[in-house]
Chain A
Amino acid sequence: MASTIEGATGTWEYVIGLEVHAQIVSNSKLFSGASTEFGSEPNTQVSPVDAGMPGMLPVINMTCIEQAVKTGLAIEGTINRYSVFDRKNYFYPDLPQGYQISQFKQPVVSEGRLVIEMEDGSEKVIGIERLHVEQDAGKSLHDQDPSHSYVDLNRSGVGLMEIVSKPDLRSPEEAAAYVRKLRSILRYVGTCDGNMQEGSMRVDANVSVRKPGGELGTRCEIKNLNSVRFMSRALEYEALRQIDILESGGKVDQETRLFDVGRGETRSMRSKEEAHDYRYFPDPDLLPLRLEQELINGIAASMPELPDAKRHRFMAEFGLSPYDASVLVAEKENADFYEAVAEGRDKKLAANWMISELFGLLNKAGKGIEESPVSAAALGELLDLISDDTISGRTAKEVFAEMFESGKAAGVIVEEKGLKQVTDTGAIEAVIDGVMARETQKVEEYRSGKDKLFGFFVGQVMRASGGKANPKMVNEVLKKKLDG
């Protein structure tokens, strides 16, 4: 959903383009044999290549390239069978080579697209300019010492995909939907774990403002946003800042800015301004990357079902609502869990139980689906007990809470607690007869036209049965007896 901002001189609209840096899932780095594992002791995963030692030569990790191709196919991009690695030159202590190996003029993927869904159910296609492969830098820590920075090169040389959108996004909500969708796709194809806290996915946002449909304004780039929430806040702040400048007759400077989370504002990274001359040139240590069509075809054939396709299938084949389908497909693990539960069962019942009951308890417990104490098979068993009238839906919720708590199977809990529903007509009739014999006065009132008392009788019968009588049968039999 596009959103606009009312300024003093009229309405303004956002123009946003995002550059997402996604860490490639691989065992070793892009150009060296050091491990990519997160959270190890500093500098224990560094090869002389990553440390920029003289004379070391980079050798490409083909798995990283295959991951990039896979991602390119998932965003419906054109896979370029010929691409080139360039050096992007700049000085920073966490970049020991003095340059980053990246792809500039000839990236491995160009011209893709991604569909975002907004909360109102509308869809929008966002263009993707390119996807290229590059090295990550090391990590600097600035708070360990008053006059020094500490540098850890474990991340130096890890493979990244930089995915650049076109400036097609028109609001912070669209930008957030884009990042969430891209993350979902990356996780489906298994090319990036999408973990924003650990920095596996980082976003740079280019934002400018203009009068709707007018000329593009001057943009600013906000660097290193590591959560969707911070990105939205940074975009809102930055647009207002630019509008203030423009409406007071000023001019927006094209510059790189940082988002200060504590203050909720963006500020200029002045020291980097003059360093923006990267002097790209083809890396003489690396030949151009040529991809065989068979390799690309092989990867295309191995693609899993993507979130959009899955969502449409859940709607078309299972009759799920767009909302339920979106919720279930956002994470592949949830979708797989759902399909296991729904297999051979009522699809909507399974969806309802996952979304309102399972997700509810998981959220409360702060757990992900992979840590769920109730397995898909166990939830399925519970649904079977509902479907074959062993227990009522209401009892099932009680049983489910117990399953979540104790990890016991539904059947065991029903047995232990004697929760089995009474579906024997004779038994139900006996209970009803007992209640009617006790409440002769009320029976008479009912029969002389006070039908509102029906609910009273249902309540009495349910109570007398200890909540175990099948409510539907109670209704039927009771009606017959009272009216008869």
Chain B
Amino acid sequence: MSFDKTTIARISRLARIATTEAEQERLAGELGGILAWVEQLDEVDVEGVAPMTSVVEMNLKAREDVVSDGANAEGILKNAPKSAHGFFVVPKVVE
């Protein structure tokens, strides 16, 4: 699979990463190369083999339903560029 510039532009828009046209040109080549490398795996016949979900055979870790966290609004807001009255404050996003 190879990439064209339009696809790169779309991916960067979805990822909210700004790219210039020149960068898109370069990224199309780089990402295409990476995908081509990964596509070598298609040569392996995996018919009937279940996808591997973990390198160790184990079950999903679970928790008890108890409240053990929270009550730390100040700490949670500490890294916010802007906050007020206990809320995160962000540029207006109303529809």
Contact = CB atoms under 8 A, between A and B. Distances in A.
Nearest to B60: A287
B59 to A, nearest CB: 6
A43 interface: yes
Given A93-B93, A148-B90, A62 B73 contact: no
A64 B65 contact: yes
Given A41-B73, A60-B62, A142 B93 contact: yes
Interface stretch (B23-31, B32-40, B41-49, B80-88): B80-88
A397 B24 CA distance: 81
Contacts of B92: 142, 145-149
A288 B61 CA distance: 10
Given A152-B87, A269-B95, A61 B63 contact: yes
Interface residues of A, number: 56
Given A34-B70, A43-B73, A44-B73, A153 B63 contact: no
Task: Kindly state the interface size class of chain B when it binds its partner.
Answer: 35 or more
Contact of B76 (A51, A59, A84, A272): A51
A288 B60 contact: yes
A141 B53 contact: no
Among A92, A145, A146, A287, which residue has the most Cβ atoms of chain B within 10 A? A287
Interface string A125-157: 000000000000000111011111111110000
Contact of B67 (A27, A272, A287): A27
Interface in A22-40: 26-28, 32-35
B93 A92 contact: yes
Nearest to B89: A148
Contact of B62 (A62, A140, A142): A62
A150 B80 CA distance: 12
A65 B54 CA distance: 21
A84 B51 CA distance: 12
Contacts of A145: 89, 92
Given A34-B67, A62-B62, A62-B63, A151 B90 contact: yes
Interface in A427-453: none
B16 A91 contact: yes
A286 interface: yes
A45 B91 CA distance: 23
B54 A287 contact: yes
A26 B65 CA distance: 7
A65 B16 CA distance: 33
Contacts of B58: 287
A47 interface: yes
Contacts of A274: 13
Contacts of B53: 84, 282, 287-288
A386 interface: no
A18 B78 CA distance: 40
Contact of A62 (B16, B64, B88, B91): B64
A264 interface: no
Interface in A81-102: 84, 89, 91-93
A172 B34 CA distance: 51
A263 interface: no
A140 B71 contact: no
Contacts of A43: 73, 76-77, 86-88
Contacts of A482: none
Given A92-B93, A140-B93, A287-B54, A45 B70 contact: yes
B20 interface: no
Contacts of B13: 274
Given A27-B66, A35-B67, A142 B94 contact: yes
B77 to A, nearest CB: 6
Contacts of A28: 63, 65-69
Contacts of B22: none
Nearest to A256: B95
Contacts of A279: 14
Contacts of B65: 26-28, 61-64
Nearest to B51: A282
A258 B95 CA distance: 9
B60 A289 contact: yes
Nearest to A57: B61
Interface string B1-23: 00000000010011010000000
A47 B70 contact: yes
B14 A277 contact: yes
A360 B65 CA distance: 40
Interface in A254-286: 258, 269, 271-272, 274-275, 277, 279, 282, 286
Interface of A: 26-28, 32-35, 41-49, 51, 59-65, 84, 89, 91-93, 140-142, 144-153, 258, 269, 271-272, 274-275, 277, 279, 282, 286-290
Given A27-B65, A34-B70, 11 more contacts: A27-B67, A28-B63, A33-B67, A61-B63, A61-B64, A63-B65, A149-B89, A150-B89, A151-B87, A151-B88, A271-B95
Interface of B: 10, 13-14, 16, 53-54, 58-73, 76-77, 82, 84-95
19 contacts: A28-B69, A43-B87, A45-B70, A45-B71, A46-B72, A47-B70, A59-B63, A60-B60, A62-B62, A64-B65, A93-B93, A148-B92, A152-B87, A277-B10, A277-B14, A279-B14, A282-B53, A286-B60, A287-B59
